[in-house]
Structure 1
């Protein structure tokens, strides 16, 4: 099985085969519009603008599972992303990334790139918050919070997982290496 075997829904609920992204480098993100990490949209936009013409895409999946920080419909979320954050890339249908209703794509991503640790600026605070909610949070591959990112190479291999606190400069370097 590869990333290209999955079908997701676009912002209007229409099916989209990920096979249309063959030969592209992908960054798949679970996002939220009312999160402390939401300002990452600015840097993600810059990365997208710099690399899109070289075969790079960002696939954005809103998710309301973390603190209710992605309220509203997919249409409302998309409007906020476009008007406030000037997001130019595709925003897909709102999904769950963990639990019994987790989207199969994210189940695949988590299996391909398991959770290892939270690092980077703000890691200590995020770890403390997660530990307060679940002292065994480290024991699963679940997505821990909004703006977890998965990097996919041109062959559809999931090559890296970035937790929300990791420096986007490191994400950018990893993308550059694949392009």
Structure 2
């Protein structure tokens, strides 16, 4: 099983197979518009712009499970990201990342790349996962990790 076996809901509710991103290095991140880490959208966009021609894609998954920091509708979230941070990478429909209603993609990501001390739950908004070109989960980064700190991992995977 790989990440390519999953389908996710787009911001308009459409089913999107992650196999659409085959042969790309993927950064998956759970996002929120009213979080202290929300400015990371700018750094995620900068990395996306710098490396998209080489095969990088960033996939944003809004989540309202952490202190209700993503209360808006999918349409409002899209608009917020575009207007405030110039986001052009895909932002999907709002999901749960923990609990019994967690999106299957996030259940898989948590299982493949546990956090610190082996904890599988997502601690907060802007937890980041890097997936290689073959769909394998390579690394999990904490919410406080600035996306620029993932550069060396991204560059190495793009050259592989």
TM-score (norm 1): 0.86
Paired residue for 1:152?
A: 131
Paired residue for 1:47?
A: 47
Distance 2:81 2:95 in 1: 16
Q: Deviations over 1:43-75 (max 9, x none)?
A: 111100000010110010000000110011111
1:1-179 correspondence runs (5 A):
1-116=1-116, 140-179=119-158
Q: Calculate the aligned-residue CA RMSD, in Å.
A: 1.0
Please list every run of 5 or more consecutive structure 1 residues that lacks an aligned counterpart in the other structure: 118-138
User: Which contiguous aligned blocks of 4+ residues in structure 1 show a shift greater than 3 angstroms?
Assistant: none
- Name the SS for the 1:20 alignment partner: helix
Query: How far 1:16 sits from its partner (Å)?
Result: 0.4
- Name the SS for the 2:51 alignment partner: helix
- Name the SS for the 1:90 alignment partner: coil
Give the paired residue count: 158
TM-score (norm 2): 0.96
Please list every run of 5 or more consecutive structure 2 residues that lacks an aligned counterpart in the other structure: none
